Amino acid sequence: MSFLLRCPHCGDRSVYEFRFGGEVKPRPAPGASEEEWVNYAYNRTNSAGVQTEWCYHRSGCRQWIKAVRNTRTNEVLETFYPEENAR
Amino acid sequence: MSRFFFDGEPIEAQPGDTVASALYRAGRRIFTRSFKYHRPRGLLCLSGHCPNCMMNVDGVPNVRACVTPAREGMRVRHQNAWPSLEQDWLSAAQHFDSLMPVGWYYKTLTHPSAWHVAEPWIRKVAGLGDPPPPDAPPREYEHAFLQAEVAVVGGGPSGIAAAFEAASGGAQVILIDDQPEPGGHLRYTRPGEAPASIAQLRGQPNVELLARAYCFGLYEGGLLGVLQADPHPGAHERLVHLRAKRVVVATGAYEVPLLFENNDLPGILLSGGARRLLFLHRIVPGRRCVIVGIGARAEDLASDLRGAGIEIVSLISPDEVLGAVGSTRVEGLRFRGGSVTCDLIVVCGPLLPDAGLLSQAGARLAWSAAHGAFLPADLPPHVTAVGRVTGSGLEPAVPLPPGEVRAGKRHFVCLCSDVTSQDLVDGISEGFEHIETLKRYTTATMGPCQGRMCQLPAIGICARETGRTMGETGTTTARPPSPSVTLGALAGPRHHPVRRTPMHYQHEALGAVWLDMGAWKRPRYYRTAESSEERRCVQGEYQAVRERAGMIDVSTLGKLEVRGRDAGRLLDKVYTNRFSDLRPGRVRYCVICDDAGIMLDDGTISSIADDHYFLTTTTGNLEFVEQWLEWWLAGTGWDVHITNLTGGLAAVNLAGPQARDVLAGLTGLDVSAKAFPYMACRQALVADIPAILLRIGFVGETGWEIHVPAESGEDLWKALLEAGKAFGIRAFGVEAQRLLRLEKQHVIVGVDTDALTSPYEADMAWVVKLEKNDFIGKAALSRAAGDPREQLVGFVMQEDGVPDDGSAVVMDGRPAGRVTSSRFSPREGRAIGLAWVPAGLAGEGAEIRVRVQGRPLLARVTRRPFYDPEGARLRM
């Protein structure tokens, strides 16, 4: 792993400056079923392909961003700030 | 002229000499003994590729002497031979080669005990250098991070041209060359004819030349791993992380040996090695020479060697050669239809593209019979290749197709680990027909040369024995790092960051014994004039806190400020208890869980104003907590600002029955129990320093956690010590704190809890407010609220003995739980602690057995704090 990630604030940076925050998953509503909660807390999609994931720019602006990355090739298609009112 | 030492003997070196060339000039011909058979080996390639000249230089093992500049005072030692390179008793090993066929250790040492007996002997006989002893003086290594628009790997004619072209177009260029001077093979094939472009290149301001540097890895994202030797007198090696938009690989070609009997004898040189000796070092390597080679290359070589006064006895085609004659050095050559005597054999071996980097980067290697080599194809988009690495100008060095396979026990394919062509044929006949399995079984291509010298002959033998073409047989996989990199260079500078609190030197003056907590240094305990024994010092500190007053530096606690209209809303969401109703001036203990209900951290939250909170976290979890809060904030659009104040604040916890008297003397604030009750916070001047005071009690006594600006930490510390003198105050360390809190059964998250602990299991149901609307962990915790399977409980030993942290709780002779913390309690007169036990054993007064030094000793469960269970002293 040595690809570059474009931070919306800092520009192209080595992926080692970021903390990986896992795939983006919608959090179930408070009254959701046990199955939904278990799935959210313990299961990962582990996509072989394009996934949206959280990244924290630890050695830079110290902000959470989202990245759309192909997990097979490490090609980063897009990076952006989390959408307003997304959670 | 300089002088260095080889095995203690002084050796003269001329300017431009390497360690190997100076030794050769001084008459040395045997440079190493081989890995398995201890056969004598001499200089072969002189280009840093083969394993034949690896020596110990100034304590560093496996240094290639042929590319290491000789320097005044160097200490060079031989490796893997006893007692000397000339008289190596271990060379007896080659008489037992029939006992050691390929893979013999897999077949004979099948029983574990046999391996254990044999292993030390094998390690002694077979192997490379010894690691430096632990007391060897350390070497300095450094890392550098560079960027370029274009990185050119290789300073030969093609690399220079590519760098010049890119630089002329205005690009920022870094040129990496492993030689002391650029020029590549021209330096020894056309000496004195250095291309004019070298001078032009040096004049370009936008070109940086890294000399004596090699690229060992071409990684994704245009990252090159580069190792530079002797970057400056203060550093032994520098590892450069070079990021380039475009990479031009101009690594050229390297020469490999041919296969014939005794092809490893000293006195057999590759043509490049002979030329380097002649033209770079002005050494004439022999008198009577046989050249093995064909075509114009062999003719050119013959004329160059003649020019140096060497008699060319014969020029023989490779497929005519049978074997070299000699025991410790070349005495002649046998070929079809005759033999000659000579003292030098120069081999025009195959020139192969040095395409390892391209292969690492994802290029395919395709066999080309016209070039007699595997050529790189399908390069990744940002990588180009120029010059001989592409195959340009290369032609087969042996007539193709090759004649019959030369299987023999003295035909060395792999010089690194003494693998012969017979070994490969045997391995194939045993079923290892795939080049990758053949490699793993025979270890050919797995030695220090990383397959450079032996890959082509190994593939050739595999192809012919299995009736496949070279292309069908294919190559083994190229992986970084290649060439190899020292561990020191990877590890980098010997610099361990240390964090010291603002009061560090006060602790030092008080006799602190240090404890490392992450990067922090914290006093474990303080030595006193009476004693430096830990148990007695800790007991003294403990008594001061319980009976009078004590103070501990808690500056390492994480400290965060959370401000904004929605600050309370965020804290309500992230922490398990409620904060939006926390009135200004009040403090609450807090716990963070994740959505699986696992306890992640604890701390305190103080409300300074309705939109302003002051948080503390555990020492090790600050960064995590800050990122966790920011994460749950991200994308909400809420008005919250989180500021990390940890480095900006110093903090002292003042505790004990007389702590109030100590504090009252330093502040105008009313610190009476009525005006400043338990779990309250205030802002005031303490010793004229602006402070935030929290009335909390981790150690179970009346106490205040006082936070002040870091630059005033030392002043606060001294003022408290001074004011407390009359009351017998003592500074206490982490060890006394742990004992004090254990008597209160206060848990330390991460010590007493683990990655599966919920607040219910930790006996802290009171921190979870399930009636809250929603918070992180609510769904999981509402389901976990029922009956936990395990429980964290307190215990008192009923027999003598203090269990170690981590000791097993046993039930019917089987482990059923474990001790997380245990200390001898002066108050109870025996050991107390916290332990995980099955729910069935968690009742008050239940008997458990704790393994102490192998014996299951009786202990009794208690879930009431040992000290002041009602918390009256905290509220006083």
Residue B58, strand partner residues = none
Q: pLDDT grade, residue A85 (50/70/90)?
A: low
State yes or no: pLDDT of B191 exceeds 90. Answer: no
Nearest to B603 by CA among B698, B716, B706, B708: B698
Closest CA to B219 of A41, A3, A9: A3
The last residue of a domain, from among B364, B398, B432: B398
Which runs of consecutive H residues, i.e. helices, occur in B60-151? Answer: 104-108, 112-125
Alpha carbon distances (Å) from B235 to B136, B650, B835: 16, 38, 51
Q: How are the residues of chain A apportioned to helix, strand and coil, as percentages rounded to the nearest 5?
A: 15, 35, 50
* Mean pLDDT, chain B, whole residue set: 93
DSSP B359-410: HHTT-EEEEETTTTEEEEES--TTEEE-GGGGTTT---SS-SS--S----TT
Asked whether residue B872 carries a pLDDT value surpassing 70, the answer given is: yes
- Alpha carbon B747 to chain centroid, angstroms: 34
Q: Would the pLDDT of B111 be above 90?
A: no
The full length of chain B comes to 876
Distance of alpha carbon B627 from alpha carbon B560, whole angstroms: 11
- Whether the pLDDT of residue B307 is over 90: the answer is yes
Give the pLDDT confidence of B610-660 residue by residue, as tens digits: 999 999 999 999 999 999 999 999 999 999 999 999 999 999 999 999 999
- pLDDT confidence bin for B553, thresholds 50/70/90: very high
Whether B405 has a pLDDT exceeding 90, the answer reads no
Write the pLDDT tens digit of every residue in B234-256.
Answer: 899 999 999 999 999 999 999 99
* Side chain identity, residue B544: A
Give me the helix-helix angle, B435-442 and B455-466, nearest 10°.
120
pLDDT tens digits, residue range B118-176? 888 887 777 778 888 888 888 899 999 999 999 999 999 999 999 999 999 999 999 99
Q: What is the pLDDT of residue B832?
A: 97
Interface contact flag, B631 A32, Cβ < 8 Å: no
* CATH number of the domain to which B62 belongs: 3.10.20.440
CATH code for the domain of B573: 3.30.70.1400
Q: Quick one: B568 and B641 in the same domain?
A: yes
What is the mean pLDDT of the segment spanning B673-697? Answer: 97
Structural domain harbouring A76: 4-80
The distance of B222 to chain A (nearest Cα, Å) reads: 8
pLDDT in the model for residue B402: 58
pLDDT for residue B301 is more than 80: yes
What is the separation of C-alpha B589 from the centre of its chain, rounded to a whole number of angstroms? Answer: 39
pLDDT of B115 reads: 83
Is residue B407 a part of any domain in this protein? yes
Residues paired with residue B653 on neighbouring β-strands, in sequence order = B552, B705
Closest Cα in chain A, distance from residue B596 (Å): 6
pLDDT at A86: 64
Residue B598: closest CA among chain A residues belongs to which residue?
A41
Please compute the mean of the pLDDT values over residues B82-94 and round it to a whole number.
Answer: 86
B interface test, pick of A1, A2, A76, A85 with most B CB neighbours within 10 Å: A2
Of A15, A56, A87, the CB nearest to B635: A87
d(CA B3, CA B19): 10
Interface-testing mutation among B239, B628, B631, with chain A (most A C-beta atoms within 10 A): B631
Q: Is residue B62 included in any domain, yes or no?
A: yes
Q: Which chain B residues are closer than 8 Å to A63 by Cβ? A: 630, 634
Q: Are residues B176 and B274 in the same domain?
A: no
Q: Does B220 contact A2 at a Cβ distance shorter than 8 Å?
A: yes
Q: How far does the CA of residue B782 sit from the closest CA of chain A (Å)?
A: 11
Residue B404 has pLDDT above 80, yes or no: no
Question: B168 and B216, same structural domain?
Answer: yes
Residues B699 and B415: their CA atoms lie apart, in Å, by: 67
Nearest residue of B to residue A5 by CA position? B221
Contact state of A19 with B627 under an 8 Å Cβ cutoff: yes
Using CB atoms and an 8 Å cut-off, which of residues 19-78 of chain A contact chain B? 19, 21, 27-28, 30, 32, 34, 37, 40-42, 54, 56, 58, 62-64, 74
Contacts of A2 in chain B (CB under 8 A): 219-221, 223
Number of domains observed in the structure of chain B: 7
CB within 8 Å of B796: residues ≥ 6 apart: B828, B830, B831, B832, B859, B860, B862, B866
Tokens standing for residue B374: 């595997």
Q: How far is B637 from chain A (nearest CA, A)?
A: 5
- Which residue reads 């988009």 in tokens? B381
Is residue B161 located within the same domain as residue B247?
A: yes
Q: What pTM was estimated for this model as a whole?
A: 0.87
pLDDT at A1: 86
How close is the nearest chain B Cα to the Cα of A86, in Å?
5
Alpha-carbon distance of B579 to B582, in angstroms, equals 5
What is the rounded distance in angstroms from the CA atom of residue B860 to the CA atom of residue B846? 6
Chain A partners within 8 Å of B596 (Cβ): 41-42
CATH number at residue B871: 2.40.30.110
The answer to whether residue B700 sits within a structural domain is yes
Residue A10 lies in a domain: yes
Contact across the interface for B630 and A19, Cβ inside 8 Å: no
- Of B647, B673, B691, the last residue of a domain is B647
Residue A87 is predicted with a pLDDT of 64
Residue B333 has pLDDT above 70, yes or no: yes
User: What mean pLDDT do residues B556-585 have?
Assistant: 95
User: Looking at CA atoms only, how far is residue A41 from chain B in angstroms?
Assistant: 6
The answer to whether residue A83 neighbours chain B at the CB level (below 8 Å) is yes
What region does B558 belong to: left with phi over 0, alpha with psi -120 to 50, or beta? beta
Tell me the C-alpha distance between B695 and B876, whole Å.
Answer: 11
Q: How many domains, chain A? A: 1
Task: Report how far residue B387's alpha carbon sits from residue B284's, in angstroms, rounded to the nearest whole number.
Answer: 30
Contact B359, B365 (CB under 8 A): yes
The pLDDT of residue B387: 97
Average pLDDT over all residues of chain A? 93
**pLDDT > 90 in chain B, percent:** 84
Tell whether B653 and B694 lie within a shared domain. yes
Assigned domain for B101 exists: no
Q: How far is A8 from chain B (nearest CA, A)?
A: 14
Bridge partners (DSSP) listed for residue A13: A5
In a domain, B711, yes or no: yes
Q: Which residues of B sit within 8 Å Cβ distance of A? A: 219-221, 223, 243, 594-596, 627, 630-632, 634-637, 773-774, 778-780, 783
Residue B221 is which amino acid?
G
Contact B780 A1 (CB under 8 A): no
| Domain span holding position B65 | 2-92
Rounded CA separation B724/B718 (Å): 10
Question: Among partner residues B219, B630, B632, which is closest to A2 by beta-carbon distance?
Answer: B219
pLDDT at B406: 74
B841-853 CB burial, b ≥16 within 10 A, e <16: bbeeebebbbbbe
Percent of chain B topping pLDDT 70? 99
* CA separation for the pair A66, A55 (Å, rounded): 6
Which residue is closest to A74 within chain B, CA to CA? B220
Query: Each residue of B263-294: pLDDT tens digit?
Result: 999 999 999 999 999 999 999 999 999 999 99
- What kind and span of H or E run contains B272? helix B271-275
pLDDT of the residue at B105? 80
CATH number at residue A65: 3.30.2270.10
Provide the pLDDT confidence category of residue B67 given band limits of 50, 70 and 90. Answer: very high
The stretches of B4-57 forming alpha helices (DSSP H) are 19-25
Q: How confident is the model over A10-45, as pLDDT tens digits?
A: 999 999 999 999 999 999 998 899 999 999 999 999
Mean pLDDT of B219-231: 95
Query: Could you give the CA distance from residue B206 to residue B173 in angstroms, rounded to a whole number?
Result: 6
Determine the average pLDDT of the residues in A58-68: 96
| Residue B401 reports pLDDT greater than 60 | no
pLDDT at B730: 97
